[in-house]
Amino acid sequence: MGVNAAGMGSGIDINAMVTKIVDAERAPKQERIVKRMNDVETDISAFGRLKESLDKLKSQMYDFRRNESYAARTASVSNSDALSASASPDAIPGKYQINVQQLASTHKLVSAGMDSDAPLGTGKLTITMGNRTSIIDIPQGKNSLTDVVRAINSDPTNPGVQASLIQDDSGARLVLNGTKTGAGNQIAVNVDAQMGSALHQLGFKVGQAGNGLTQMQAAQDAQIMIDGIASVSSETNTFTNAIEGVSLDVSQAGASPITLSVEHDRESVRSTLESFVDNYNAFFRVAQAVGKYDPETQQGGPLVGESVIRTATSRLRNLFSSPIEQAPEGMKTLSELGVTTTMDGRLEIDSKVLDRQLRQNFNALEGFFGGNKGFARQLEEVVNGFTGAGGAISNRENTLSDQKLRLRDEQQELDRRMENLEARTMKRFSAMEEATAQMRSQLQAMQNIMPA
């Protein structure tokens, strides 16, 4: 409230009186709005914690299913300096002997030494690499070796050939280097110029006599031998089809065989299941914190009595104990895998059972977790029924958000009414103050005209 001179005539602090009247009117309504807003905020936070913990479970199972992590493989090699490998779930566990016979390389050509600024003559260079060709004009006035390098590198139809100059004791040398490895990416340069033109010093074709350029490095495929019987070639130093489900990258050729071991990735699956148990137990703790009633303290969480908590917990427990129809015998439930439910409702891992299943029945994991009817997909669907669009928790969050908006509207309406009340009350007191002042003035005037 602004500074007001009201009350100066009567000696009454009108501002303070108006404030007390307005505050008395506002207090019960404001208290109700604040309490309801706090309750709504608390409930939104509680539902948010529930939703977050459930979505973490769902995301983990989604990634587990999408990446087929239940069928993960590891690939290890005895010489990582020469070979690296990775394996997909399609890889068949086993050991292989790999001989890296040669690496893939690009084609590299070099010219004889010459003056980089001397004119070479006019004509055309037809440069081919693989199945792509570029025709480059070498005009009068722009036909030095330096000009040729610029023309090759700037040509929009360049087939993948990089040109450069190196200087040695013999002068400047043109170097042409292919950007793609493999025997199918040889460089050929055909020169169309007058007989005796210096441009002919830049011609080259593999196996042809009288080439102007010299081959520094042949274009070749990478070659490996698998188990001494299967010879495999690749344009690059990566082999993706040599062994099913295994990608090989070679980096060093040598005579000694390299042992490649492909195995089930048991540790990755174990880690995922341990994380799954931790995530469910985190949800269970949140559910208890927000929905449990303590009879000793006679206090409960913000969502005591909310059926959504009981329903979510019940459906998850039912999934944990129900057999997966498509799963093989001996691994139809979580407990048969080694993940069991405790008396208080948490999950825990029986390490002996899990170790045995991962060691003896690893291939059965796909039948339990994978597919549209597997455990992972079913858990996603259960959680989505609560946290997804139209799910029970999402609907409750939407309802609470609507309540929050209505409370904000109520607060604005209350503020508006209190402003009006303050203005009306101040007007009335001001009128009373004015009337009092007039009465005082009249009384003083009467006293002044009366004889002493």
Q: Which tens digit of pLDDT belongs to each residue from 137-152?
A: 999 999 999 999 999 9
* Residue with the two structure tokens 């060691």: 359
Average pLDDT, the chain: 91
Q: Is it the case that residue 426 has pLDDT exceeding 90?
A: no
Q: Are 72 and 435 in contact (CB under 8 A)?
A: no
Give yes or no for residue 281 having a pLDDT over 60. Answer: yes
Residue 442's pLDDT band (cuts 50, 70, 90): confident
> Six-digit token pair at 374?
């597997």
CB contact at 8 A, 283 and 275: no
Mean pLDDT value across residues 394-417: 92
Compute the average pLDDT of residues 165-177: 95
SS3 163: strand
Q: Is the pLDDT of residue 10 over 60?
A: no
The pTM for the full model equals 0.73
pLDDT at 119: 95
Residue 438 has pLDDT above 90, yes or no: no
Q: Is the pLDDT of residue 104 over 50?
A: yes
Distance CA 450, CA 442 (A): 13
pLDDT digits (tens, 9 = 90+) for 23-43: 898 889 989 999 999 989 989
**Please, which residues have CB within 8 angstroms of residue 235's CB and are 6 or more apart in sequence?**
104, 180, 181, 182, 183, 184, 185, 221, 222
pLDDT average, residue stretch 95-104:
97
Mean pLDDT of 221-228: 97
Distance in angstroms (rounded) separating the CA atoms of residues 52 and 166: 62
Give the residue-averaged pLDDT of 38-63. Answer: 93
- The answer to whether residues 300 and 287 touch, using CB atoms and an 8 Å cutoff, is no
CB neighbourhood size of 16 (10 A): 11
Q: How confident is the model at residue 68 (pLDDT cuts 50, 70, 90)?
A: very high
Beta bridge partners of 217: 108
pLDDT at 71: 93
Angle subtended by helix axes 14-66 and 375-387, to nearest 10: 160
Of residues 358, 289, 127, the one with CA closest to residue 366: 358
363-373 pLDDT tens trace: 999 999 999 99
Lowest mean pLDDT among 185-199, 344-358, 409-423: 409-423
Residues 6+ apart with CB under 8 A from 49: 286, 290
Helix (H, G, I), strand (E, B) or coil at 333: coil
Q: What is the pLDDT of residue 452?
A: 59
Of the pLDDT bands very low, low, confident and very high (cuts 50, 70, 90), residue 328 is very high
Q: Is the pLDDT of residue 292 over 90?
A: no
Residue 2 has pLDDT above 60, yes or no: no
For position 306, what pLDDT does the model report?
A: 86
Region of poorest pLDDT, from 152-166, 222-236, 271-285, 405-419: 405-419
Minimum mean pLDDT range among 79-83, 217-221, 288-292, 359-363: 288-292
The reported pLDDT for the residue numbered 233 is 97
Average pLDDT over residues 375-380: 97
Strand 246-250 to strand 238-243: parallel, antiparallel, or no bridges (unpaired)? antiparallel
Q: Are 365 and 324 in contact, with CB atoms under 8 Å apart?
A: no
Query: For residue 71, which amino acid is it?
Result: A
Q: Which of the four pLDDT bands, split at 50, 70 and 90, describes residue 12?
A: low
Residue scoring higher pLDDT (299 or 57)? 57
Per-residue model confidence (pLDDT) at position 446? 76
124, 199 contact by CB (below 8 A): no
Can you tell me the mean pLDDT for 373-392?
Answer: 95
By mean pLDDT, which of 46-50, 197-201, 292-296, 353-357 is the weakest?
A: 292-296
Mean pLDDT of 143-167: 96
For the chain, the structural domain boundaries read: 1-72+265-438, 73-104+221-264, 108-217
Q: How high is the pLDDT of residue 73?
A: 95
User: What confidence tier does 1 reach under pLDDT thresholds 50, 70, 90?
Assistant: very low
Give residue 444's pLDDT band: very low, low, confident or very high (50, 70, 90): confident
